Structure 1
Amino acid sequence: MESGAFHLLDERIQRFIWAEGWESLRDIQEQAGPVVLAADKDVVIAAATASGKTEAAFLPALTRLLQEEGSMGLIVYVSPLKALINDQFGRLDKLCEQLEVPVWPWHGDISSTSKTKFLSKRCGVLLITPESLEALLCNRGTSVGAIFERAAYFIVDELHAFIGSERGKQLQSLMHRVEHAIGRKVPRIGLSATLGDMGLAAQFLRPGGDAVVLQSSEAGNGLSLIIKGFEEPLVRGAGETAPAANQEERDGGVVLAESSGADQLDEAQGPPEPVGPGRIAAHLFRVLRGSNNLIFPNSRREVERYTHLLNTMCERHQVPAEFWPHHGSLSKEIRIETEVALKQREVPATAICTSTLELGIDIGAVKSVAQIGSPPSVASLRQRLGRSGRRKGEPAILRAYVQEQQIGPKSNWSSELRLETVETLAMVDLLTRDWFEPPRAGGAHFSTLVQQVLSVIAQQGGASATELYQLLCAPAAPFGGTSKKEFVELVRHLGERELLVQDSSGDLLHGRLGEKLVNHYSFYAAFAADEEFRIVAGTSTLGSMPINQMLTVGQRILFAGKTWKVENVDEEQKTVYVHRTGGGAPPLFAGGGGRTHTRVRERMREFYEAQEVPSYLDAQAKAFLAEGRAAYGRRKLAAEFLIEQGRQVHLVTWLGDAPNEALACLLTRRGFEATPGGPAVEVQLGTRRISDVLDALGDAAVDEAPPLDMLLEDAKNLQREKWDWALPPNLLRRTYASLNLDLDEALAWTRQVSRRQ
């Protein structure tokens, strides 16, 4: 085998590679071999799904373990999912058995006998989740140093899933605490298929470090894609069906190959389809039956809807059901059943799923991916698409489905612009250009700092405030942006909440409530489970929904197809009290979606102002784009940013969600009722005039940026993360702003529009 990296590997690993029939090492494996084997640097390994990232890390890391004299070392592999650990165990066990290297899966489903055996040997490969690693540190106390004394590598899989999250900050802290316990640095290796900013990825892997970044240069198999549009009529009679798709709608599409050239993505013909999601389901049924695929709606509710629709069609056509649900609310057994159905090849299976199947669970290659509605992000879409096109010579296949309401005399501006279609188009286009959202890595994450303070005290049996600050908040530590003043404020507040107490020697110990919470199994997870708020009008409960934006009293929300004004938000009881109101086009609050980046909205605007019509749009999607462009021109949005609608005005910024939310806060501070929604911020005028809004924007442009305390003073529902309830108000506002607002971008926009006035 002509390979420099191959000859660096242990001979037993070389023989294994020959026996498996490998013709050569992959590009990323060639790059990673000597760097990982040297074990003197942190490394980020970025490559597409199924490109050999795992082997790129493990083959040289195992070689180093085999080369060490004396006791065998330990590789600590950290995965975001138990299912991934089980997959890796199956992949590694065959190789490691020949190498006589033990492999130890460790998570909640693993027996205590197996864990005890690992603790007696403490070598080989430990496959573990962050939550189990947290439990290990909490419960093994001062023996942590002995358990990890031979640690040779940390390997973090699906690195992108951790960056910018509470769970990621927890993982940073856990690796840092292990290194502190053993008194030395352990090389860290991050594996990821989707990264928007490699520098941020390197900084996440070790704050203040300088990780080597390796990226695969291998070309993929190309991409075959189509965006299909479906129009919902304003009014329809019972049993009414939509017109049959014409030939162009059925067959539209293009292959975006690595080389030049374009071929059509064939779509099966079929009879007229029922109106609504049933039309999409009918099309999916025709084109997906008989092969393995993934379908991604944008919520668990929609997963259930489409699974039911598709399997009902199987019944009607008297064919075996081959559509399987997969989302986080389902039992482990049902999820595993779906994964097994996808893996076996004898009977075709298609999973209708949420982001639970974005990560690298081994389900084998699927023929195609379907996205219903605009995806949460470009990075998420890329991760989903990575499941398709994994067989040599086969392109990845993406079908994106968009639904728009028929335009009528009462249609609002956002419907006229066909935002759903153009946003999907912008994301798909950015995907083909290899652009992905950079992770939002600068968050304060005080919620997880609370957990880590309590965890360190559990591990050490107590600690002084100075020790905790040095360990967790020093410049190169995981929470290095925390000032001593903020830390003191946090510790005092935790004392007031009975999470901490101070003994006579000055050490901090768990308080009454702290001890109760730390001793519960749920403590080990840093992230909060999705919580839904009840929506109550008078004495009637309208239902419940996850709410992913801050709320203010007087704000309007859309629920059950009607507009409601917020009277009060009871955060402890997770209840929003509302009363009926009318008019306008309020923003929709719903779970499951991502936060849209400014680059996506900029690309949308570019499409509105261009003449090109991508060939991968079907006839209806092309019509939607044409209608959106006509509305954009009619409203002169190339030059204007104001849209009047009754006693409200929409500021069409074309900014992302984070700057738009910050802009809404700036206007709220000046007495307006302002709400971000899509590419705009909606402002209720009441008795005021548009000129007042323009004056407020002008003032914001020239004033100093307001303190966060003042900016979020009237905001409700800021508690998003697991331990936010334990934060003092000042730190809660700061952590929310650091994760959800982009004040600099909002102020830059106000200055830009003020210069145009």
Structure 2
Amino acid sequence: MTDDASTTVPSSSTSRPVAAARRRIVEWFATQGWKPFRFQRQMWNAYLDGQSGLLHSSTGTGKTLAAWMGPLIESLAESRRKPGRSSRRAATEPLRVLWITPLRALAADTANALQRPLDDLEIDWTLETRTGDTSSSVRARQRRRLPTALITTPESLSLLLTRADAREQFASLRTVIVDEWHELLSTKRGVQTELALARLRRWSPPLRVWGLSATLGNLDEALRTLQGSRVIEGDDSANKVIAAPTSKRFRVDTLIPATIERFPWAGHMGLRQLESVASELDSCRSALVFTNTRFQAEQWYQALLQARPHWAGEIALHHGSLDQQTRGWVEDGLRQGTVRCVVCTSSLDLGVDFSPVERVLQVGSPKGVARLLQRAGRSGHQPGAVSRVSCVPTHAFELIEFAAARDAIEAGKIERRRPVENPIDVLVQHAATIALGSGFDADDLLDEVRTTHSFRSLHEDDWEWVLDFVTRGGEALRAYPDYHRVQFDGEKYRLLDKRLARQHRMSIGTIVADAALTVRYLKGPRLGTVEESFISRLQPGDHFTFAGRSLELVKVHDMEVLVRRSKRVGGRIPRWMGGRMPLSTELARAVRGKLEEALHGEFRGPEMQAVRPLLELQTRWSRLPAADELLIERITTREGHHLFIYPFAGRLVHEGLAPLLAWRMSRLAPITFAMSVNDYGLELLSSQPAPFEQALDCGLLSTDSLADDIAASLNAAEMGKRQFREIARIAGLVFEGYPGSRKSTRQLQASTGLLYDVFSNYDPGNLLLRQARVEVLERQLEHRRIHATLDRLQQSRLVLSEPSRPTPLAFPLLVDRLRERLSSEKLADRVKRLQQSLEKAAGR
């Protein structure tokens, strides 16, 4: 915002023009059959008083209108104060509102929601989107002049900052609204947003920044991260948290299976419940069936279509790897009520408004309280409506998770999302972005970067390292001109090389995944993308299922998978990376609470009643742990000596704990372990008894030297090399290639692997290497949660049980270990024999 623009802001939210404008907004609400909520009025007033802050409200309660109406009231008030001004201002009204959305798929829907009051109130603003899907003609128009309100993503905003005239383009900006802030908060995209906001605030200090959030447990930390040094320095105008009353009503129920296995195992995909799900959908006009992975969504879509063939044309599939045009068709069908059911993933988690949706079904455990709330909110997506989600268990233990999630919702126990601290790769990318735009003074940019929450404690030595890295490639790459991206021209640091500038613009962003290949009909349209690792296992003529269609692979050419329709039913279904969803801290705590209730004979709710025979058998053969107990089961079978430990801390924590405990015990005696983990516990199998009691006396559960012990217990160097691939791409060390000639995953892995070895040998102090090690501990192994879990276990009562055979809790861990050695068909047969043997021992 320029000084001239700032003088037009009403000095008080109670001035006469503002009061008149507010009445028009209230009247508009009445024409829609609505009445503004108190929290909406609060946000309008705070905005008009020049404040920034965070709005926290459940999905479907009116956050969008709460954020949008403040700028509209301001505009209406100004037009009343200037009666001589033409009402047709679109040609002269510059950029005023920047709306940041985490998903480009949300941009069009958000634009529709914002355009409606503009039209009805005859406010002549231009409103446009700017994402990766924006047409070249619209981009060209925006290159000359940005609209009055622009909806964009963090990546596209960073691209706008690479313009030499970016400061002039943003000169009249008054407010930034960051939608779904909870989704960005704990990611590098959130840090990218923080850095962009710091630049905009530097240009316009009075800029108002508002975050919109739902299902978040750490509001104060979320506010500090969004507002940066404004909150740290105690700026009262940026300390506003508006929390809507929890008036949103949720109904969480479960489709209870007809029979419950007392020895359950993961991997069935829940298809035994297919007819129950289809019957529930029969009575719905519109429903969403959420799955946790794209593979699962493809499988359930095919299964439902086979169960109800007459639904063809009325049932659809939606996930992030499908073509944008296909996803848009599905979303339009939901809005218009022409699609009765969509099988989807997290691609429909966020704020697209599908008011007609009556019902949500969740296949499998959501693994988190916030995720279940978010998905439930997709139904009844309007103020006052009840949001209903029906949970579909894929194995018996998920019944406990559903009951625990409902308890957590009722108690208001929502997960915290921790912001990312000091990611040097994002800072390197941002420095190149600003150098490509208007250029920067080193001291000025350091001061600016330190106003963000993420880099508030950035050490000057680290900043000097970043400068050296972007200008000369650091210690190891000084001899290679391609790494001398930024130059000092005597006044500012600038990125002047046109080829390197083009490569940087094409590489902006922090989303890194396996190389994606476009799936396209040999003579026809694009279907979406699959990962190279899947296609590399197929030969021409092989059949696979994708986008709900049976396809035959013709050939792979120029990063495109060319296919034709196949009449063959079935075939492989692509698997995508990123499907691991460990049990969250809050849900894990709630599960321990449900088990303690069962220990004392309390089985509240239909889910716990259904799983009661399983839990009673666990009690009869071993023990159910209380919330403050650690259960250890020691069992001897023909395979060897099994040690089952149940921290109930989530899969990722157990993936770090299992090798840590195995390594600590192996230091006391030469012993080799086979391991398996799930969300509830871990198994250590050895050919001889493990020295468990001795290890306990020697600090088996100690947090002393934890980071070093974790690194020693794993191939930390290889894990760090894999993590470095992502960091190298974000920092611009490798270029993925131009459209039509993208580098393969193997080429990128070779390039990043070579760089990792060069830095390790010749530049061991490289900050990107340090970051790779930190991210392995925090992101892959959840070092912080492992530390907290060990603290809790040290304070717990140890309960050692020695049952004569595997218990219901132990059985899924046995199966997970077998899965690594057997095909799916052989595994199913082996599991069935094991179940029959154990059921015979248990008796009916």
TM-score bracket, shorter-length normalisation: 0.7 to 0.9
Residue equivalent to 1:110: 134
1:430/1:748 CA distance change after superposition, 3 Å: same
Residue 492 of structure 1, CA deviation: 5.6
| Among candidates 389, 401, 405, match of residue 392 of structure 2 | 401
**Aligned partners of 2:380 and 2:386 also within 8 Å:** yes
| Among candidates 417, 420, 430, match of residue 398 of structure 2 | 420
Residue 65 of structure 1, CA deviation: 3.5
Residues of 2 paired with 1:733 and 1:609: CA distance?
38
Residues of 2 paired with 1:634 and 1:207: CA distance?
55
Residue equivalent to 1:268: none
1:395/1:748 CA distance change after superposition, 3 Å: same
One-letter amino acid of the structure 1 residue matched with residue 105 of structure 2: A
One-letter amino acid of the structure 2 residue matched with residue 446 of structure 1: I
Residue equivalent to 1:578: none
One-letter amino acid of the structure 2 residue matched with residue 375 of structure 1: P
**Aligned partners of 1:74 and 1:151 also within 8 Å:** yes
Residue 624 of structure 1, CA deviation: 2.3
1:118/1:475 CA distance change after superposition, 3 Å: closer
> Are positions 1:730 and 2:770 aligned together?
yes
Residue equivalent to 2:503: 519
| Among candidates 137, 150, 157, match of residue 126 of structure 1 | 150
Residues 640-659 of structure 1 correspond to what in structure 2 (within 5 A)?
Answer: 640-645=630-635, 646-657=640-651, 659=653
Residues of 1 paired with 2:502 and 2:622: CA distance?
57
Residue equivalent to 1:305: 299
| Among candidates 159, 164, 168, match of residue 181 of structure 2 | 159
Residue equivalent to 1:292: 286
Residues of 2 paired with 1:377 and 1:747: CA distance?
21
| Among candidates 681, 689, 693, match of residue 691 of structure 1 | 693
Residues 59-458 of structure 1 correspond to what in structure 2 (within 5 A)?
Answer: 59-68=69-78, 74-97=96-119, 98-118=122-142, 120-122=144-146, 124-138=148-162, 140-141=163-164, 143-180=165-202, 182-210=203-231, 211-217=239-245, 219-223=247-251, 225-229=253-257, 277-289=270-282, 290-315=284-309, 318=310, 320-345=312-337, 347=338, 349-390=340-381, 395-404=386-395, 418-458=396-436
Residues of 1 paired with 2:426 and 2:485: CA distance?
19
1:754/1:488 CA distance change after superposition, 3 Å: farther
Deviations 1:191-240 (A, max 9, x none): 122212211221221224433111111523452522423658799xxxxx
Residues of 2 paired with 1:130 and 1:320: CA distance?
38
1:81/1:208 CA distance change after superposition, 3 Å: same
**Aligned partners of 2:194 and 2:226 also within 8 Å:** yes
**Aligned partners of 1:96 and 1:103 also within 8 Å:** no
Residue equivalent to 2:459: 483
**Aligned partners of 1:644 and 1:650 also within 8 Å:** yes
Deviations 1:505-532 (A, max 9, x none): 69766699x9658526541222113567
Residue equivalent to 2:740: none
Residue equivalent to 1:605: 592
1:676/1:36 CA distance change after superposition, 3 Å: farther
Give 3-state SS (helix, strand or coil) of 2:633's partner: strand
**Aligned partners of 2:436 and 2:501 also within 8 Å:** no
Residue 185 of structure 1, CA deviation: 4.5
Residues 2-17 of structure 1 correspond to what in structure 2 (within 5 A)?
Answer: 8=19, 10=21, 13-14=24-25, 17=28
Deviations 1:276-303 (A, max 9, x none): 8443221121121251001012211111
Residue 733 of structure 1, CA deviation: 1.0
1:694/1:221 CA distance change after superposition, 3 Å: closer
Give 3-state SS (helix, strand or coil) of 1:375's partner: coil
Residue 109 of structure 1, CA deviation: 3.1
> Are positions 1:615 and 2:605 aligned together?
yes
Give 3-state SS (helix, strand or coil) of 2:716's partner: coil
Residues of 2 paired with 1:640 and 1:110: CA distance?
54
Residues of 1 paired with 2:97 and 2:510: CA distance?
23
Deviations 1:52-93 (A, max 9, x none): 111111111222244458985611111122332212222222
One-letter amino acid of the structure 1 residue matched with residue 795 of structure 2: Q
Residues of 2 paired with 1:16 and 1:606: CA distance?
49
Residues of 2 paired with 1:535 and 1:364: CA distance?
37
One-letter amino acid of the structure 2 residue matched with residue 202 of structure 1: L
Give 3-state SS (helix, strand or coil) of 1:77's partner: strand
Residues of 1 paired with 2:300 and 2:700: CA distance?
48
Residues of 1 paired with 2:577 and 2:462: CA distance?
33
Residue 124 of structure 1, CA deviation: 2.1
Residues of 1 paired with 2:768 and 2:178: CA distance?
33
1:589/1:115 CA distance change after superposition, 3 Å: closer
One-letter amino acid of the structure 1 residue matched with residue 777 of structure 2: A
Residues of 1 paired with 2:418 and 2:22: CA distance?
43
1:661/1:447 CA distance change after superposition, 3 Å: farther
Residue equivalent to 1:751: 794
How does the TM-score come out when normalised to structure 1?
A: 0.75
1:53/1:690 CA distance change after superposition, 3 Å: same
> Are positions 1:631 and 2:635 aligned together?
no
Give 3-state SS (helix, strand or coil) of 1:527's partner: coil
> Are positions 1:25 and 2:25 aligned together?
no
**Aligned partners of 1:293 and 1:367 also within 8 Å:** yes
Deviations 1:515-565 (A, max 9, x none): 6585265412221135679699x9x9xx9xxxxxxxxxxxxxxxxxxxxxx
Residue equivalent to 2:716: 714
How does the TM-score come out when normalised to structure 2?
A: 0.68
Residues of 1 paired with 2:300 and 2:605: CA distance?
28
Residues of 2 paired with 1:685 and 1:399: CA distance?
42
> Are positions 1:35 and 2:53 aligned together?
no
Residue equivalent to 1:411: none
Residues of 2 paired with 1:724 and 1:491: CA distance?
16
1:184/1:730 CA distance change after superposition, 3 Å: same
1:352/1:476 CA distance change after superposition, 3 Å: closer
1:279/1:703 CA distance change after superposition, 3 Å: closer
Residue 374 of structure 1, CA deviation: 0.6
Give 3-state SS (helix, strand or coil) of 2:718's partner: coil
Give 3-state SS (helix, strand or coil) of 1:437's partner: coil
